[in-house]
Amino acid sequence: MTITPPALSVFETLESEVRSYCRGWPAVFDRAQGARLTDEDGHSYLDFFAGAGSLNYGHNNPVLKRALIDYIERDGITHGLDMATTAKRTFLESFQNNVLRPRDLPYKVMFPGPTGTNAVEAALKLARKVKGRESIVSFTNAFHGMSLGSLAVTGNAFKRAGAGIPLVHGTPMPFDNYLDGRVPDFLWFERLLEDQGSGLNKPAAVIVETVQGEGGINVARPEWLRALADLCHRRDMLLIVDDIQMGCGRTGSFFSFEEAGIVPDIVTLSKSISGYGLPMSLCLFNPELDIWGPGEHNGTFRGNNPAFVTAAAALDAYWADGQMEKQTLARGEQVEQALLSICDEHTALGARYRGRGLVWGVEFTDEARAAAICARAFELGLLVETSGPRSEVVKLLPPLIATPDELDEGLRTLARAVRDTV
């Protein structure tokens, strides 16, 4: 009998070796709705990754889909650079009415290009321009993007090495609880700032995620964030909150920093801001920082109007009142209960969980276990990914609109996957 080896797919022959998710999830996905994807063989997958946080309202959310198709059907502007368009106006008004005004946030809105890294690049440029300094402080295990500006404030050594140049002008400081509580918060950072002999180039700004998603689901305490905001204020540094993954309701409130009661100088948003998974990002900042010259930062796709349409629809549908926030916090409790139970069952594995809202992580003593669990979960029809510098954490990012039943199903699958890897 002759066995013909299967032909290599076009993904393997034509696409670069840089591809990654498709390796862990070896399926060809075709359709998706809400919390579920379907591959071309008809298998269904429950999605606890949600486009790395870009699909908070689920895949192809019907409310947004309707608005999107209507817009395309009527030949609304698709590509608008930074021209004024009706779709952009609708978005700006919705953002003002549903997001900024109720929270008393004074921000100006910049469309820096449709990706998160573009928003971070814009934020860093602006901070440096305003303060006239080059240095930026970031935190251990931060992730802010892959273009050179953002990468310089990103922690991951493998990704940094990809730069091909020494990444400078950034200095890492310990994120909350990085040193296991053995050191008072900001002791080192504050000392460096106050000491004229410390050797720290005075930073223009500090950039922080309130929950480090890529870095291992590290959750900053509200008091730590408040102390950081206070430090920035006292030491004349701008505070940039990168809310690309944790904003748009992931932690409950629209912005993840609301719980701490702080008002950053600059905020970046992307991922779920369009609501539909379409490329879009925003850079928000206090009006007095708006010293940009016209076109000083630009980008071909900063006027992705279909994304403005779905973004406005999402804000109107989900953020006109406090319902979404309440629901997310409730669902988060459901997740926490399930993780507690998993960890109780696996104390021998050193299982520990952490999270907030609908972003959670589970860590095990054996660092390789997280990958094994994700692989097993995939076989069982659940998409979950690892996170952390050694991929040692199982990361849960279900869509915010996942139903209690869907969450329950996914968490049970996870529990089984854990058991199966023991």
Q: Which is nearer to a copy of itself, 150 or 210 (CB)?
A: 150
Q: Give the nearer residue to a copy of itself in terms of CB position, either 81 or 330.
A: 81
Residue 189 CB contacts under 8 Å (≥ 6 apart), including other chains: 137, 173, 174, 231
Strand partners, 173: 139
Quote the least distance from Cβ 307 to a copy of itself, whole Å: 9
**How many CB atoms are closer than 10 A to CB 31?**
13
Choice between 92 and 415, CB closer to a copy of itself: 92
Least Cβ distance, residue 263 to a copy of itself (angstroms): 17
Q: Which residues contact 157 (CB under 8 A, 6 or more apart)?
A: 389
| CA separation for the pair 139, 241 (Å, rounded) | 12
User: Quick one: which H or E segment has residue 337?
Assistant: helix 323-345
Cβ atoms 289, 239 nearer than 8 A: no
Q: Tally Cβ neighbours within 10 Å of residue 157.
A: 8
Q: Which residues contact 12 (CB under 8 A, 6 or more apart)?
A: none
Residue 75 CB, nearest distance to a copy of itself (Å)?
A: 5
Amino acid identity, position 125: K
Which among 238, 239, 280, 312 has a CA at the least distance from the CA of 70? 312
CB-CB neighbours of 269 under 10 Å: 28
Q: Work out how close the CB of 250 gets to a copy of itself at its nearest, in angstroms, rounded to a whole number.
A: 14
Q: How far is the CB of 218 from a copy of itself (least distance, A)?
A: 10
Give the nearer residue to a copy of itself in terms of CB position, either 216 or 249: 216
Q: What angle do CA 401, 383, 328 make, to 5 degrees?
A: 25
Smallest distance, a copy of itself to C-beta of residue 2, A:
27
d(CA 160, CA 319): 37
Taking the least distance from each CB to a copy of itself, the nearer of 130 and 418 is 130
CA distance 28 to 253: 34
- 373, 417 contact by CB (below 8 A): yes
For residue 91, the minimal CB distance to a copy of itself (Å) is: 10
Q: What is each CA distance from 51 to 69, 140, 269, in whole angstroms?
A: 21, 24, 15
Work out how close the CB of 245 gets to a copy of itself at its nearest, in angstroms, rounded to a whole number. Answer: 9
CB of 117 to a copy of itself, least distance (A): 7
CB of 416 to a copy of itself, least distance (A): 23
CA angle 61-64-66, nearest 5°? 105
3-state secondary structure 106-158: CCEEECCCCCHHHHHHHHHHHHHHHHCCCEEEEECCCCCCCCHHHHCCCCCHH
Integer Cα distance of 144 and 352 in angstroms: 26
- At its nearest, how many Å lie between a copy of itself and the CB of residue 305? 9
User: What 3-state class would DSSP assign to 263?
Assistant: coil
Contact indicator for 157, 209 with CB cutoff of 8 Å: no
